[in-house]
């Protein structure tokens, strides 16, 4: 009996560890996006290199979380809520890892842009980055708090980000048409904008999963005594 | 079991009684058996002894019969070979040889024989006594008396019955006694039990009253004492807790306590304010679930490794930006396996802002002073390199130098005013002042510049506008600064209107509106900051020091008034100067 409680406590602990690692990965991703954008706006190439180097951490965490999830699935054969949590975690983990790579993309483009004079002051891009970062944070908050409304709000923000992306592209197009010397730089900025847009898509993906997870839970609401 | 005590006491009584009865019964039976046996044995022995002396053969049957009647025994006469010669109750010829009977054998050897056997014919224990009949020392035969032990059986039965009867009586009595005893013992115990249960349920139990002076009574007194003590302890603990909680929750700094697992165990209200979350959303959660800030978690990890207190600055973005100074330390005075972590969150947003303003100020002052100085030095150098010879150029240069020097002078004057105002060392001579007159004075100073730009100024100050309590010179400065700005930022041919109103709330407002360039909405709140300019180059071209509105803000505060700015970009700006109305008795 005591043995059993001990193992189940350890199981709970492992689930909690996975959750905390996932959130830590999210924090690293948010941090990476913030710093990648900072390296662009402040023209700080050292910061960009730091972002690229620190992607290692995100990748390591990604592998760690995935193997921990698979280990628990194989050894414990969890049911109901834990199963849903683990499968969701594997998916969210994948999204976060991709976001990390996109932040590295931004840092790489920033490195290139920092070598050449700026085309124009950035106005929409920082706004877009802020929104994207908010989406990442809020999608994870929604996951943790199982907050459906927040998840819905994240999905709504994705539209704003998409519009900003298009707007940035149109604006850059006029620069490129006016002066062909700006084409290279403008394309780099377009890539950054595209990366942000894709990060926000990943955040939206997480939000969608949260909504599914919660609505799924309402149906199976008769699982008492289980805690995420 | 409700009456388990009763059953236990009653059961004990019954068992004790039973044991006593059984012991008494067994001993009494044995004693009576022995006594009676001895008596019967003696009796039979006497008869046997008499008979063994001999009797005439002819009278055998009659003698046996007579003795048998007397002794209540069956008498058998047996010859030396064991053959029954006569029997008091049966036909001798039908009886078997009796030589092998134990009593006969015993009589043959020891001269007297005795045996107790269960007689199958009578179905009862029977005592046999045998004596040999001797003639000249040789055994001629045996006389045997047999007596069924009916009396003994009867006596044993009587005694058993007696014991049983008394057992029933004692049992009934002990039932009664146990009932009385337990009810007397149990009822106070039950009362105490009810009392302590009320205590458990958290009801107000009152005082336990037990009349008796024995152990239960003393127990009740002890319980009463304990309850009083407990109440007092709880009360003082509550009070202490209340005090601590009051201190804890009224603290400006947020305090989070994490348990050994790193989950949030407790917090104060400041934490809720900082994070904008309810305690229910936070208690029991890992910090990571609440706040995903890499610097914070790095600090936490570092703390776990080193165990030493450390602090970090983190930036929160829920709504407004917040800068939080996070200090992590171990909760002191706990056993090693229950170590808790305390996180203190201090909102340093304002301090950070002030730091930035101060840094900006130094940078600005240097910059503001350096610009005219550079110009002055430049012109002087040009003059020294020969321009001084060309009279007209030299004159122009000197005029420019003077202009810059005057700007420097104004800057230093403004700085002095601000610094005095901030240090509270500014001297005011308050009196009743009519704003009407102040504005008129300022207008005469402003008019030339305004008419040069073709700006039309209309003043609409009601005659009956109440006076205010103020320092005439400072009021002049306030209005001058505002009107000067209005003229500067209004394009040629624009209009400036001045309007005075007495408001319902006992204030007097002077509204100065222009049709100038306006101020973007987001900038208005920063206008009172020193050296803050919406459009830096333009303002400086116009000769502003960047301190005008800052001075107005300070001077208005000294007059217990305030400045409000409304503006629309491209449409114009309205600055309202709001003063409290002067009352006779308000001059100290």
Instruction: From chain A, pick out residues whose CB is under 8 angstroms from the CB of B289.
Output: 19-20, 23, 144
For residue A71, is it within any domain?
A: yes
Residues B410 and B500 in one domain: no
B423 touches chain A (CB under 8 A): no
Which CATH number belongs to the domain containing residue B362 in this structure? Answer: 1.10.287.130
Nearest by CB to residue A27, choosing from B261, B293, B317, is B293
| Average pLDDT of the residues in B48-70 | 76
Same domain, B451 and B539: yes
Maximum average pLDDT range among A1-15, B28-42, B269-283: B28-42
Which residues on B lie below 8 Å from A134 (Cβ)? Answer: 317
> Are residues B565 and B545 located together in one domain of the fold?
yes
To probe the interface with A, which of B292, B301, B319, B321 has the most A CB atoms within 10 Å?
B292
**Domain identity same for B297 and B371:** no
* Per-residue pLDDT reduced to its tens digit, B474-492: 888 888 888 888 888 888 8
pLDDT value, residue A1: 42
CB B518 within 8 A of CB B572: yes
Which residues 124-143 of A have a C-beta within 8 angstroms of B? 134, 137, 140
How does residue B237 score in pLDDT terms, banded at 50, 70 and 90?
very high
Whether A16 sits inside 8 A of B289 (CB atoms) is no
Report the alpha-carbon distance of residue B53 to residue B68 in Å, rounded: 16
Q: Are residues B369 and B317 located together in one domain of the fold? A: no
CA distance B340 to B332: 8
User: How many CB atoms are closer than 10 A to CB B242?
Assistant: 10
Chain B CB within 8 Å of residue A32 CB: no
Average pLDDT per 10 consecutive residues for chain A, totaling 228 residues: 61 85 89 89 88 90 90 83 85 91 91 83 84 90 85 88 89 85 87 91 89 63 38
Report H helices in B325-471.
349-384, 391-423, 435-452
Same-domain check for residues B489 and B512? yes
- Tokens (6 digits) for B201: 């349920």
Q: Is B293 on the interface with A (CB under 8 A)?
A: yes
Contact B317 A31 (CB under 8 A): no
Q: What is the pLDDT of residue A217?
A: 55
Instruction: Say yes or no for a CB contact (<8 Å) between A134 and B317.
Output: yes
Q: How confident is residue B236, by pLDDT bands cut at 50, 70 and 90? A: very high
In 3D, which of B391, B380, B363, B406 has the Cα closest to residue B531?
B363
Sign, CA dihedral B540-B543-B547-B550, equals negative
Q: Do B114 and B19 have their domain in common?
A: yes
Q: Residue A141 belongs to a domain with what CATH number?
A: 1.20.58.220
Q: Are residues B433 and B559 in the same domain?
A: yes
Residue at B164 is within a domain: no
Report d(CA A176, CA A195) in Å as an integer.
Answer: 20
Which of B261, B281, B294 shows the shortest C-beta gap to A27? B294
Structure tokens at B372: 């005219």
Per-residue pLDDT averaged across B433-443, rounded? 86
| Distance (Å, whole) CA A88 – CA A209 | 7
Final residue before a domain boundary, out of B420, B444, B474? B420
Taking residues B451-468, report their average pLDDT. Answer: 86
Does residue B588 carry a pLDDT above 70?
no
Residue where one domain finishes, among candidates B313, B347, B381 = B347
Asked if the structure places residue A162 within a domain, the reply is yes
Q: What is the pLDDT of residues B288-310, one digit of tens each?
A: 777 778 888 888 888 888 878 88
- Across the interface, whether the CB atoms of B288 and A16 are under 8 A apart is answered no
Residues of A in contact with B288 (CB under 8 A): 19-20, 23-24, 27
Residue A212: inside a domain: yes
B294 contacts A145? CB cut-off 8 A: no
Query: Cα(B56)–Cα(B71) distance, rounded to whole angstroms?
Result: 20
CB pairs under 8 A between A and B: 33
Q: Is the pLDDT confidence value at B446 over 50?
A: yes
Extract the tokens encoding A131: 């929104």
- Among candidates B261, B286, B292 on the partner chain, residue whose Cβ is nearest the Cβ of A26: B292
The mean pLDDT of B426-453, rounded to a whole number, is: 84
Alpha helices in B213-323 (DSSP H): 215-250, 269-275, 279-282, 287-290, 294-306
User: Do the Cβ atoms of A23 and B288 come within 8 Å?
Assistant: yes
pLDDT of A218: 44
Across residues B438-465, what is the average pLDDT?
85
Measured between beta carbons, the chain B residues lying within 8 angstroms of A13 are: 261
Which of B205, B204, B290 has the alpha carbon at shortest distance from B254?
Answer: B290
> What interface predicted TM-score (ipTM) does this complex get?
0.71
Instruction: State mean pLDDT over B44-71.
Output: 77
Res B208 pLDDT > 80: no
The per-residue pLDDT for range A173-213, each reduced to its tens digit, is 888 888 888 888 888 989 999 999 999 999 999 988 888 77
Tell me the chain A residues in contact with residue B281 when contact means C-beta distances shorter than 8 Å.
145
**CA B11 distance to own-chain centroid:** 47
Instruction: Please check whether residue A19 touches B, CB under 8 A.
Output: yes
Could you say which of B403, B420, B437 is where a domain stops? B420
Confidence at B541, pLDDT banded by 50, 70, 90: low
Query: Chain A: nearest CA to B515, how far in angstroms?
Result: 29
Q: Quote the mean pLDDT of chain B.
A: 82
* Option in A13, A20, A134 nearest B288 (CB): A20
Residues in chain B closer than 8 A to A31 (CB atoms) = 294
A-chain CB neighbours of B286 within 8 Å are 16, 19-20, 23
Distance from CA of A31 to the nearest CA of B (A): 7
Residues with Cβ within 8 Å of B303's Cβ and at least 6 positions away in sequence, in order, are B309, B310, B328, B329, B341
| Average pLDDT of the residues in B552-569 | 86
Contact with chain A for residue B259, Cβ under 8 A:
no
Q: Does B277 touch chain A (CB under 8 A)?
A: no
Q: What is the pLDDT of residue A198?
A: 92
Tell me: do B449 and B535 sit in the same domain.
yes
List the strands of the sheet with B84-87, edge to edge: B84-87, B74-79, B138-148, B124-135, B113-119
Which of A31, A141, A153 to substitute to test the interface with B, most B CBs within 10 Å? Answer: A31
Of A13, A24, A134, the CB nearest to B297: A24
Q: A65 lies in a domain? A: yes
| Alpha-carbon dihedral sign for residues A187, A193, A198, A201 | negative
Please answer whether residues B489 and B461 qualify as being in contact, where contact means their C-beta atoms are separated by less than 8 angstroms: no
Q: What is the mean pLDDT of residues B479-506?
A: 87
Nearest Cβ partner for A30 among B286, B289, B292:
B292
Residue A30, chain B, CB below 8 Å: the answer is yes
User: Are B289 and A19 a contacting pair at CB < 8 A?
Assistant: yes
- Quote the CA–CA distance of B145 and A204 in Å, as a whole number: 122
Domain count across chain A: 1
- What range does the domain containing B133 cover? 4-156
Whether residue B477 is found in the same domain as residue B404: no
Q: What is the pLDDT of residue A226?
A: 39
Closest CA to B74 of B149, B184, B186, B157: B149
When pLDDT is cut at 50, 70 and 90, the band that residue B3 belongs to is: low
CA distance B253 to chain A (A): 24
| Cα B393 from chain centre | 87
Model pLDDT, residue B349? 86
CATH number at residue B482: 3.30.565.10
Structure confidence at residue B537 (pLDDT):
66
Kindly state the tokens that stand for B11. Answer: 């059961």
A57 near B CB under 8 A: no
Query: Could you write out the three-class secondary structure of A24-69?
Result: HHHHHHHHHHHHHHHHHHCCCHHHHHHHHHHHHHHHHHHHHHHHHH
CA distance A74 to chain B (A): 26
> CB-based contact (8 Å) between A10 and chain B?
no
Number of compact structural domains in chain B: 4
CATH code assigned at B120: 3.30.450.20
Domain that holds residue A50: 2-219
A20–B286 CB contact, under 8 Å: yes
Same domain, residue pair B434 and B517: yes
The chain-wide mean pLDDT, for chain A, equals: 84
C-alpha–C-alpha distance, residues B228 and B425, integer Å: 63
Among B277, B288, B296, B299, most A C-beta atoms within 10 A, so best to mutate, is B288
% of chain B exceeding 70 in pLDDT: 95
B177 domain residue, yes or no: no
Q: Which residue of B has its CA nearest to A143?
A: B289
* Residue in A24, A31, A137 nearest the CB of B288: A24
The whole-angstrom distance between A177's CA and the closest CA on chain B is 31
Give DSSP secondary structure letters for B287-305: HHHH---HHHHHHHHHHHH
With CB atoms and an 8 Å threshold, state whether A27 touches B288.
yes
Q: Is residue B398 part of a domain?
A: yes
Residue B61, both tokens: 């049957």
Got the DSSP string for B446-485? HHHHHHHTT-EEEEE--TTPPPEEE-HHHHHHHHHHHHHH
CB contact under 8 Å between A23 and B289, yes or no, is: yes
Q: Best of B263, B287, B289 to disrupt the A interface by mutation (most A CBs within 10 Å)?
A: B289
- State which residue of chain B sits closest to A23, comparing Cα positions: B288
Residues B315 and B449 both lie in one domain: no
- Inter-chain residue contact A20 with B281, CB threshold 8 Å: no
């Amino acid at each position: 009996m005591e043995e059993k409680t001990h193992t189940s406590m350890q199981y709970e602990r492992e689930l909690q560890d996975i959750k905390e690692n996932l959130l830590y990965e999210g924090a690293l991703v948010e941090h990476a996006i913030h710093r990648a954008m900072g390296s662009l706006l402040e023209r700080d190439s050292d910061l960009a290199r730091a972002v690229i180097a620190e992607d290692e951490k995100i990748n390591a965490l990604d592998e760690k979380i995935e193997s921990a999830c698979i280990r628990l699935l194989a050894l414990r054969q969890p049911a109901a809520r834990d199963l849903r949590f683990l499968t969701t975690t594997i998916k969210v983990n994948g999204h976060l890892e991709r976001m990390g790579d996109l932040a590295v993309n931004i840092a790489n483009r920033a490195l290139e842009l920092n070598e050449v004079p700026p085309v124009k002051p950035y106005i929409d891009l920082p706004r877009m980055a802020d929104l994207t970062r908010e989406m990442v944070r809020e999608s994870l908050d929604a996951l943790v708090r199982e907050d459906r409304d927040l998840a819905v709000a994240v999905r709504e923000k994705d539209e704003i980000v998409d519009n900003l992306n298009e707007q940035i592209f149109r604006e850059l197009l006029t620069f490129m048409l006016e002066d062909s010397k700006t084409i290279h730089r403008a394309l780099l900025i377009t890539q950054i904008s595209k990366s942000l847009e894709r990060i926000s898509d990943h955040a939206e993906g997480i939000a969608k999963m949260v909504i599914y997870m919660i609505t799924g839970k309402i149906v199976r609401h008769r699982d008492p005594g289980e805690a995420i | 079991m409700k009456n388990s005590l009763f059953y236990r006491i009653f059961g004990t009584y019954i068992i004790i009684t039973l044991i006593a009865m059984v012991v008494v019964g067994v001993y009494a039976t044995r004693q009576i058996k022995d006594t009676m046996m001895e008596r019967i044995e003696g009796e039979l022995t006497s008869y046997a002894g008499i008979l063994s002396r001999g009797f005439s053969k002819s009278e055998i049957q009659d003698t046996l019969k007579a003795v048998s009647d007397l002794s209540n025994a069956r008498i058998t006469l047996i010859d030396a070979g064991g053959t029954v010669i006569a029997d008091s109750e049966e036909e001798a010829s039908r009886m078997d040889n009796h030589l092998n009977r134990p009593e006969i054998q015993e009589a043959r050897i020891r001269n007297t024989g005795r045996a107790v056997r269960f007689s199958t014919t009578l179905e009862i224990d029977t005592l046999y006594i045998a004596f040999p009949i001797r003639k000249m020392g040789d055994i001629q035969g045996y006389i045997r008396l047999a007596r069924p032990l009916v009396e003994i059986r009867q006596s044993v039965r009587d005694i058993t019955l007696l014991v049983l009867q008394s057992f029933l009586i004692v049992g009934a009595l002990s039932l009664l006694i146990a009932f009385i005893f337990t009810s007397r013992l149990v009822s106070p115990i039950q009362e105490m039990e009810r009392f302590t249960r009320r205590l458990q349920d958290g009801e107000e139990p009152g005082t336990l009253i037990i009349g008796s002076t024995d152990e239960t009574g003393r127990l009740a007194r002890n319980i009463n004492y304990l309850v009083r003590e407990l109440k007092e302890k709880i009360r003082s603990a509550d009070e202490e807790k209340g005090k601590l909680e009051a201190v804890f929750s009224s603290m400006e700094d947020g305090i989070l306590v994490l348990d050994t697992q790193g989950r949030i165990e407790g917090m104060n209200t400041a934490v809720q304010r900082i994070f904008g979350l309810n305690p229910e959303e936070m208690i029991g959660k890992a910090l990571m679930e609440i706040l995903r800030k890499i610097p914070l978690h790095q600090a936490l990890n570092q703390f776990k490794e080193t165990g030493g207190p450390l602090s970090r600055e983190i930036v929160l973005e829920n709504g407004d930006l917040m800068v939080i100074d996070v200090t992590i330390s171990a909760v002191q005075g706990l056993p090693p396996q229950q170590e808790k972590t305390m996180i203190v969150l201090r909102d340093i947003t304002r301090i950070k802002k002030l730091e930035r303003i101060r840094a900006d100020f130094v940078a600005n002052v240097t910059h503001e002073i350096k610009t005219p100085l550079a110009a002055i030095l430049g012109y002087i150098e040009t003059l020294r390199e020969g321009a001084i010879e060309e009279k007209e150029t030299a004159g122009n240069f000197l005029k420019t130098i003077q202009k810059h020097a005057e700007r420097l002078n104004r800057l230093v004057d403004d700085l002095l005013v601000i610094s005095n105002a901030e240090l509270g060392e500014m001297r005011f001579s308050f009196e009743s002042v009519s704003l009407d007159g102040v504005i008129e004075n300022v207008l005469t100073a402003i008019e030339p510049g305004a008419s040069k730009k073709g700006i039309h100024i209309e003043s609409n100050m009601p005659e009956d506008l109440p006076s205010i309590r103020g320092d005439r010179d400072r009021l002049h400065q306030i209005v001058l600064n505002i009107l000067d700005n209005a003229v500067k930022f209004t394009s040629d041919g624009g209009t400036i209107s001045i309007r005075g109103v007495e408001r319902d709330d006992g204030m007097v407002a002077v509204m100065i509106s222009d049709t100038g360039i306006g101020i973007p909405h987001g900038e208005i709140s920063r206008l009172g900051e020193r050296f803050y300019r919406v459009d830096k180059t333009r303002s400086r071209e116009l000769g502003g020091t960047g301190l005008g509105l800052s001075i107005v803000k300070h001077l208005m505060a000294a007059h217990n008034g305030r400045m409000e700015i409304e503006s629309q970009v491209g449409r114009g700006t309205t600055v309202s100067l709001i003063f409290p109305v002067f009352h006779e008795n308000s001059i100290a």
